Structure 1
């Protein structure tokens, strides 16, 4: 694994001085109206760790919470991006999951995006922040809001028990591929539990081997079989797991593309991916986006958003 953060567009600010950033932010919020450009300048060019230090320095200097102050000054999608950037990653994930569950209807896409793409350690941390922040059990909340096989897949992902070694058992991979084939394409009706057992439990390297073997047996990619055999949220979650394992940046590039193409923009997805990946693998996501769609992510965001919201997303995106 490469060190975290080195494939991100957001890098550590050189000569970082939290006190002077606090001064800038206080100036930006003084008087009538807000100097959004100053806010963008600070929050989009500091790492998560640096933003935490700014929050501490702000509290010391002003005796108030920076996120609360900004929240009362900003609005709309721009505000959502700024507040997301001020949170630690597991706190932001917990916050997004909470919003996906509470209120009328469930945002299944959010549950899938987060739970299918985070490591065991990340999922455990998210769950503990969720309990700390909301006094509720994440698994219970997810179960109260989902049902059937989709719920069982999410519970399995929440148990954070995926094998994370790099051990590939060739014979087992062939067996796994056969079992999935026989549970889906090879029979009438689909035995989804078999898919769950393999896709949610085995390690990534082993699964790549399973996918190769599957193609030999079925004559098609496992994604194609999932699309033929399943529907709705269950199809979505299994596809997400497969795509994340094959190529995580490509998975996020596709999420971004789909959030912007066609009429209207699904801002919740656009914001979540831009905020949560800016410091991790945004450079790779941009490269995959260009490869997959023949256009830059930068040009897509530019054409699909406006105002300060557009400005801050473009900063997180980095240049063309």
Structure 2
């Protein structure tokens, strides 16, 4: 159990981390307020409205940039990608605020916001000012506001703006200025409201055809306006950082204490409040919402279609006494007590407005998940420590198991060691009775005991036994890559060895050999084969090397029949063979499919393809292809023939014998022995065995690889 958990924990931990990250940054959206049907027409305007990013710009710490802004960036990009809005509106407090107002710092925070948008930075963006962006009453600097407004499209020097998109008019107001009395910026905001009110009244008069009367002048305190006679809800969409004042609240009802978020509760949610609490509520609303007179001024002058506000860090959808709908947008930031989110609003041509609230898991959920992850990590670390102890104990047992074998091998192959005849016999016995996995364990034990690589030690020796041991203990793909390289760059080009390795391996094995060759010699086999060989031999080898790219799970019998007919026509028809057709089939079929083609050929025509390749018209190409096809179809016959030729010629018999025994030991060595015995029964007195050259005890010892299996 410990081993399973230790091996699975890294995968589990990474998967859990990715899941948590994706879960936290994926919004969940629900409809809010009345529904007006399906608002997904091509002419509908979809707006993503966010608020209160509270970016710190150059004042942000390392943890803030690595975690908070990273989560915000991922969340914003994923949300924009999911919603696909036509524009983005930021309802103030893009900045977290500062003691000194400098344009450079504010622009740095604006650049952070643009970085957070990532690939969606090209979307239209409108920013409304909040008190953290420009300061509160008494701190407002007209020059500073005018300068930063110049960097934001659609804003005038007072921080206000009017723009239209797809026949939807938006009026952006500087809510901070509306809170301040006797401030010149406030008069700039009033001018924008009056101008838009007159524009709205003019449009209504044009429609109604009534140009008489300028309306009745009404107002509260210093705010005065004329009633423009426009129907409520017919005006523009109003964007302001501070929420409107909740008019008509009955402070004598309700229960509970006053909280920072009390304003979002319904009027029925308050119990009996004493005078001091009522005073506290009024003071809170005066600071965290627009004044009563400013609220009435906006509602009566603009008759808003809908009002979007921010500042409170919480979502609320409410309808004022006159029927004006106001949606307060939550903060788009992770902080204690805040559940981040945003609002998606869709406007259709019939003035219907659909609102969706989208939110993310809060900080408390995030902390709970990380606590769970920390607990799991602690348990896993303890478990891994126990598992490590178990592995060390197992490794110690394995070392003891192979300690005697390693001692013999070290005495034979170490720099100072000299192998005797008895040592040779023992080494062959050790290697012949070990499969691949056992040899790997023995190599690990050898390294643990002597801090040396046994394969590297054997490669430094030039005796035949070292050659045998090196080939036996190496990974098969590395071993074959070394044999190919030696065949290419030896004294003479060894065409038989190249054909054997390349044409007797499966496509997957050949692909692994090619990769091992590239890693070891920093070049591709195809390039070296092309450089060192020529003519038809090169064409055949390159065709088989290319076939490794087409490994598939199953063979296609129908295709094999068609390819067999193509082979027959390419060789049997005409005065010469069609080499191009043959090479094309071999290059585009894997080894298993090629074997199926050869079997289909024999079924169709009653003889092997190799018989046709002996015709005179096939020439040198036919001879090389005959050898390659024999390696694919009857590898045991090929190796038995090569051993027989090597024995009769007496040339390079040691290398042929070693390579045959080692490379085919776990594949078809018994079949090779049988075929060889049948082939040499009338010529050799020891026909039941492979050739044993006289006076070469080290080579004779190599036969024990076969006898011992």
TM-score range for the pair, normalised by the shorter chain length? 0.7 to 0.9
CA deviation map 1:48-86 (0-9, x unaligned): 2222222222122112221333345x5333332221112
Tell me the residue number matched to 2:584.
Answer: 197
Give the Å deviation of 1:187.
Answer: 1.5
- Seen in structure 2, the aligned counterparts of structure 1 residues 301 and 273 have a Cα distance that, compared at 3 Å, is same
Write the deviation string for residues 200-234 of structure 1: whole angstroms up to 9, x where unpaired.
5441223211233244xxxx6421221223344x4
CA pair 94-173 structure 1, distance change in 2 beyond 3 A: closer
116-125 or 181-190: which moved more?
Answer: 181-190
The offset of 1:297, in angstroms, is 6.2
Does the Cα contact within 8 Å between 1:183 and 1:194 map onto a contact in 2?
yes
Structure with higher helix content: 1
Structure 1 residue 103: Cα displacement = 4.5
Q: How far apart in 1 are the matches of 2:417 and 2:586?
A: 54
**C-alpha separation between the residues in 1 aligned to 2:506 and 2:565?**
27
Once residues 492 and 411 of structure 2 are traced to their aligned partners in structure 1, the CA distance between those partners, rounded to angstroms, is: 40
Q: Name which structure has the greater RCO, CA cutoff 8 Å, separation 6+.
A: 1
2:645 pairs, out of 258, 264, 272, with 258
Structure 1 segments (4+ residues) deviating >6 Å: none
Please tell me whether Structure 1 or Structure 2 has the larger radius of gyration of its CA atoms: 2
Determine which of 670, 680, 700 is the counterpart of 1:310: 700
Q: Which position in structure 2 is the counterpart of 1:209?
A: 600
Distance in structure 2 (CA, Å) of the matches to 1:254 and 1:310: 20
The C-alpha deviation readout for 1:59-116, integer Å capped at 9, x for no partner, is 22112221333345x5333332221112111111000011112255422212111111
Mapping 1:288-303, distance limit 5 Å: 288-294=675-681, 299-303=689-693
Aligned to 1:38: 426
Q: Which digits, 9 at most, give the CA deviation of each residue in 1:95-151, with x for residues without a partner?
A: 001111225542221211111110111011101111111112111111111233432
| Equivalent residues in 2 for 1:46-195, closer than 5 Å | 46-72=434-460, 74-159=461-546, 160-162=548-550, 165-169=554-558, 175-195=562-582
Any idea what the Cα deviations from partners look like across 1:231-287, whole Å, max 9, x if unmatched? 44x445422342234333333222322322344453332221111011222122222
CA separation in 1, counterparts of 2:694 and 2:619? 29
Greater displacement, 249-258 / 42-51: 249-258
- Aligned to 1:227, the other structure's residue is in SS state coil
Structure 2 contact 643–691 (Cα < 8 Å) conserved:
no
Change (3 A) 1:145 1:178: same
Distance in 2 (CA, whole Å) between partners of 1:288 and 1:41 is 25
> Are residues 17 and 230 of structure 1, via their aligned partners in 2, closer, same or farther at CA, if it must alter by over 3 Å?
farther
Q: C-alpha separation between the residues in 2 aligned to 1:126 and 1:23? A: 32
C-alpha distance in 1, partners of 2:545/2:447? 34
Structure 1 residues 206, 191: closer, same or farther in 2, change over 3 A? closer
More strand by share: 2
Q: Is the 1:265–1:304 Cα contact (8 Å) retained in structure 2?
A: no
Match of 1:21 among 386, 401, 405: 405
Task: Give how far 1:47 is off.
Answer: 1.6
- After TM superposition, the structure 1 stretch with the greater mean CA deviation from structure 2, 122-131 or 269-278, is 269-278
Cα offsets for 1:23-63 (capped at 9, x unmatched):
22234457663132232222222122222222222122112
Between the aligned partners of 1:42 and 1:210, the Cα distance in structure 2 is 45
C-alpha separation between the residues in 2 aligned to 1:186 and 1:180?
A: 10
Q: What TM-score results when the alignment is normalised by the length of structure 2? A: 0.39
Corresponding residue number in structure 2 for 1:225: 612
Structure 1's 319 and 152: CA in aligned 2 closer, same or farther, altered over 3 A?
A: same
When residues 29 and 177 of structure 1 are mapped into structure 2, their CA distance, relative to the original with a 3 A threshold, is closer
Aligned length: 297
* Native 8 Å contact 1:168 1:205 kept in 2: yes
Residue 298 of structure 1: how far off its partner (Å)? 5.3
CA distance in 2, matches of 1:305, 1:243: 33
| Aligned mate of 1:270, from 657, 666, 670 | 657
CA–CA distance in structure 1, aligned partners of residues 583 and 480 of structure 2: 23
Query: Unaligned stretches of 5+ in structure 1?
Result: 1-15
Aligned to 1:285: 672
Relative to 1, partners in 2 of residues 1:75 and 1:129: Cα closer, same or farther, differing over 3 Å? same
Deviation, 1:22, is 0.9
